[in-house]
Amino acid sequence: MIAILTSGGDAPGMNAAIRAVVRSAQDAGHHVLGVPNGYAGLMEGNYLHLGQRSVDGIMYRGGTMLGSARSVEFKTKAGRQKALANLHAAGATALVVVGGNGSQTGAYALEQMGFPVVGIASTIDNDLLGTDVTLGVDTAINIAVEAIDRLQTTAGSHRRAFLVEVMGRDCGYLALQAAIAGGAEAVAIPEVETHPERIEATLRQAHERGRRGGIVVVAEGAKYNAEALAAWFKADGAQLGYELRTITLGHVQRGGTPTAADRVLGSRLGAEAVRVLLEGQSGVLVGIQSGSLCTTPLGDIAGKTKTPDLSLLALAEALAL
């Protein structure tokens, strides 16, 4: 019997992964147990039997039908032992963990305690090693870009510049993608030092060239997030040409309907997780590299993060001329 949980920040496409795990496992003659509310639920022990029909109609919904949580207790040895005891008592013989960095570190800890675990790379931050792209990031980018498109029109109408803060924790991937796709004037990310005076000059030059509005995409993890950058401009008496507004997109980026790409990715990763488990693999993360499904030992990725392709920063700046 295969147990599945979703953990950490929810990500659009998690439901497609759950559906794929349930249907692929059942097709191979295995029952599936759904663990509500991530690792917190794993320690509580009230698991649900998931049949083919219990995953009907979940594909197009955002979030996760199982619920998610961040658990402090699970980080303790006692918490993990409680979780393992519950899994054994419920008759589970393997666990699929759908989640990001912290969740996969937890999965690795369980595997080190001797329980078969496979991870599915899922986070809107796309900061996990072992995969080119994580489940949920495509939807998050599209939501951010739609917001930027909308801000472009009102910015242009009022001759304003917007500082648009996007999520991503300590990773600038989402910001870079949103900046390029949204045609932003500038972007600030955690991985590269931001010079506020350069952003000021960029906006002023855009204004002088006759651009009616300006967009600066700011990663939440950057030293100068939207609040800090706005405060710097104010303290410096920055001459931007534009009136300044800030907006933080926040959890909107994690909500709503998953894109087709995330539904397909969730379906592929879910089916592959079951396939590798039944093949006898354990302690691996299922991801996608160069378009192909792949596995990476959890020990190689746990507690580490990936740096985005920084050439995208130069591209964003070059195209904003």
- Contacting positions for ligand F6P (CB under 6 A): 9, 100, 123-125, 167-169, 220, 254
Write down the H helix ranges in 10-76: 14-27, 38-44
* Residue in 10, 125, 127, 138 annotated catalytic: 125
CA quadruple 294, 300, 306, 307: dihedral sign: negative
Closest of 174, 144, 177 to residue 162, by C-alpha: 144
125 a catalytic residue? yes
> What is the number of H-type helices and E-type strands within the chain?
11, 11
Which residue, 169, 181, 166, is CA-closest to 123? 169
Which tokens in the block code for residue 268? 């592929």
d(CA 167, CA 181) in angstroms, rounded, equals 16
The three-state secondary structure class of 187 is strand
Q: 104 or 152, CB closer to ligand F6P?
A: 104
Q: Are 119 and 27 in contact (CB under 8 A)?
A: no
3-state SS class at 294? strand
- The CA distance from 204 to 261, in Å, is 38
Query: Which amino acid is residue 80, in one-letter code?
Result: R
How many Å apart are CA 212 and CA 160, to the nearest integer? 7
Task: Give the residue with the Cβ less far from ligand F6P, 100 or 213.
Answer: 100
User: How big is the CA angle at 297 (ends 292 and 302), to the nearest 5 degrees?
Assistant: 110
What burial class does residue 55 get, using C-beta atoms within 10 Å of its C-beta: 0-12 exposed, 13-18 middle, 19+ buried? Answer: buried
For 58: left if phi > 0, alpha if psi spans -120 to 50, otherwise beta; the answer is alpha
185 closest CA partner among 157, 158, 151: 151
Instruction: Give the pairing type, strands 284-289 and 243-248.
Output: unpaired
Among residues 240 and 285, whose Cβ is nearest to ligand F6P?
A: 285
Which residues participate in catalysis according to the annotation?
125
